[in-house]
Amino acid sequence: MRALLLGSAAVAALGGCDPSAVGAAPDRATVVAGGRDVIVAAPRGFCVDPASTSVTASGAFVMVSDCALLGAEGVLSEGDAEPVGAVMTASVSAAPFAPVAAMPDLERFVATPAGRAALGRSGRGDRVRVLATRTRNDVLYVLVEDRGPQPIAGIEPRFWRSFLEVEGRMTVLSVLGFEGAGVGPTEGLALVQRFADAVQAANPA
């Protein structure tokens, strides 16, 4: 379990590597992780950022953002609404994942010091707290607070990560809100749930 979670975290750091390996439409990308095709579908109003998408031997990483911020306004946009001040990421591990046996173990693991270190963005497990966990439609949602140094300036210290099985692969979805953009824990949970719903709908069991 620790290796799977850490592997997914490592994939998240690989943005920008080999984007040519990914076939992407404006609102989705089909990536290959461990020999399995996985469709990462963005919720309505969001589009894939192809420049930040990568596929490697460890897995795949896809970033999505408001279509308006990517210059892709149109049928996928939420009309005249202001762009959402958040980006969302998907990390798909190449390693197999058995959801029935592993999900309860994963929920216990994220509460441990090693789990908190893997959940955070700073690499400082002592600065990371798990504020809430919940499950919905076979997805584990974790509200994380990371008060360590951040790799991206201006990102809110509190953010949601979700964990789900897609095509037999561990998939981690995250919502990263920008400070002052109004994307708090409630809004972040709604966004990551929409993201998880879109991914599950695009990859029917």
pLDDT tens digit at each of 205 positions of the chain: 444 444 444 444 434 444 444 555 788 999 999 999 999 999 988 999 888 889 999 999 999 988 887 765 544 444 545 668 889 999 999 988 765 446 778 888 888 888 888 888 777 778 899 999 999 998 999 999 988 876 677 788 899 999 999 999 999 999 998 888 778 899 999 999 999 999 999 998 6
Query: In sequence order, which residues have a C-beta less than 8 Å from that of residue 143 and are 6 or more positions away?
Result: 130, 131, 132, 133, 158, 159, 160, 185, 188, 189
Question: 28 forms bridges with which residues in the sheet?
Answer: 25, 41
Question: What CA–CA distances, in Å, run from 110 to 90, 94, 148?
Answer: 18, 20, 17
Owning domain of residue 40: 2-202
Q: In CATH, what number is assigned to the domain containing residue 99? A: 3.40.1000
Burial degree of 15 (CB within 10 A; 0-12, 13-18, 19+): middle
Amino acid letter for position 10? A
Helices and strands (H and E) in the chain: how many: 4, 11
The count of domains in the chain is 1
Closest CA to 42 of 204, 194, 203, 205: 194
* 8 A C-beta contact, residue 42 and residue 70: no
Whose tokens are 């994380």? That residue is 144
> Angle formed by the axes of helices 99-109 and 2-11, to 10°?
80
Closest CA to 53 of 79, 81, 84, 89: 89
The tokens for 93 are 């591990």
* 8 A C-beta contact, residue 79 and residue 152: no
